[in-house]
Copies of this chain bind each other. A is one copy, B any other.
Amino acid sequence: MSERLGPPLDEPVFDELAIIGIGLIGSSLARAIRRQNAARRIVVADASEEALGRAEALGLGDAFTTDLAEGVRNADCVILCAPVGANAAIGRAIAPALKLGAIVSDVGSVKADVIAALQPVLPDHARLVPAHPVAGTEQSGPDAGFATLFVNRWSILTPPEGADAAAVAQVRRLWEAIGANVEVMEAAHHDLVLAITSHVPHLIAYNIVGTAADLEDVTRSEVMKFSAGGFRDFTRIAASDPTMWRDVFLHNKDAVLEMLGRFSEDLTALQRMIRRGDGDGLFALFTRTRGIRLGIVAQGQETAAPDFGRRVPDDGKAGR
C-alpha cells in the first residue's frame, strides 16, 4: 500500500479554510492540507477547549477558537469534522457568519441525513458539497491524526441536486491534493454502500465483543487470552469512538437496518447448514468469499501481508 504524498501545490486551493472539530479526521485534514499547501490559512474551531489546546500545541492551524461563528468568518471553505449528530447545531451556529459564497463541506460517515440537516439551516448563498473520506483508524482525537491518512483512499462527494459545479471541482481538488481518489455519487446510494462496507461490519464487531463479554461459561480472561484465533480483529473495530458510531447508526438507520436484515437472513441459512451438517454448502460459501479479498488487495485498499503484517517473522519472509 503506497502511502506517500506527492509534491505540495504551487497555488493553494483555498485562501482560508476552517476546520470544525479537530479530532482524528479534522486533525489529519489539517496536517495534510498544511503539508500539501492546499490552503493559505487554516482556522481550527472545536467545542472542546481541551481538543483545541492540543491542536494549538501540535501547531495544527493558524488560529484556534471555540467560537464557531468567529472561526468561519473569513473562510472560503468550512469543513465540518464533528460527529454527524452535531451537524445541524453547527450549521445553525455558523450560518449567520458565513462569507458570501462560502463552500460548506464535511467528512461525515453518513450523507443523506447530513444534507437534510444542513440544507435548511445554511444561507442560500452558501455552497454545500458534502464529502466522506473512506479512511480512518480506531483512534480518535487530535493526537491520533496523521498527514498521510487519506493517501490512496477514496473520498466520496455527494453534491445535492443543483450543487455549484465550481464548488464541487474545488472540493475535489482539495482531496486530490492530499492524496485521495475522488468518486461522486448520490447521497442515498453512498449510505447504502457504506452500510455494508462499514456500518454493519462495525455493528457486528461491537455485537460479538459484547456477546463475548457477557458469557457466564467463558471468562473474560479466557476471551482475551485466546483471542488470536480471530476475535481480536473484531475488538479493533469495536474500540472505535462510541459517540461517532452512535451518531452513524442513528442517522443511517434505514440503510443499516436493510443491510442488517440481509446479513441476518444469510446467517440463518448458514446456521441451518451447520445444524444439518451440510459440508458442501459450507465449503461452497467459504470458497466464494476468498476472491473478494484478492480484489481488495489488487485495488491497493489492503496489505497483502498475512495477518495484516501484524508480525514480521524474524526468519525473513513468511514463505521461508
Contact = CB atoms under 8 A, between A and B. Distances in A.
Contact of A270 (B134, B207, B303): B207
Contact of A303 (B109, B218, B245, B310): B310
A63 interface: no
A138 B257 CA distance: 30
A271 B287 CA distance: 29
Contacts of A217: 192
A178 interface: no
A224 B315 contact: no
A172 B183 CA distance: 55
- By size class, the interface of chain A is 35 or more
Nearest to A305: B310
Nearest to A287: B242
Oligomeric state, in copies: 2
A233 interface: yes
Interface stretch (A93-101, A148-156, A162-170): A148-156
A202 B58 CA distance: 41
Given A245-B286, A315-B146, A266 B154 contact: no
A181 B211 CA distance: 26
A80 B15 CA distance: 67
Interface stretch (A1-9, A64-72, A116-124): A1-9
A138 B295 contact: no
B233 A237 contact: yes
A231 to B, nearest CB: 4
B250 A282 contact: yes
Contacts of A218: 192-193, 196
A69 B280 CA distance: 29
Contacts of A228: 134-136, 153-154, 301-302
A74 interface: no
Contacts of A149: 313
B302 A235 contact: yes
A283 B194 contact: no
A242 B3 contact: no
Contact of A139 (B146, B231, B292, B318): B318
A227 interface: yes
A204 interface: yes
A224 to B, nearest CB: 4
A307 B135 CA distance: 10
B308 A231 contact: no
A226 B253 contact: no
A201 interface: yes
Contact of A246 (B203, B230, B275, B279): B279
Nearest to A205: B230
6 tightest Cβ-Cβ pairs between the two chains A and B: A198-B229, A242-B286, A201-B230, A137-B306, A235-B293, A146-B313
12 contacts: A5-B314, A35-B315, A139-B306, A149-B313, A154-B228, A193-B223, A196-B211, A207-B270, A209-B292, A224-B296, A232-B302, A303-B310
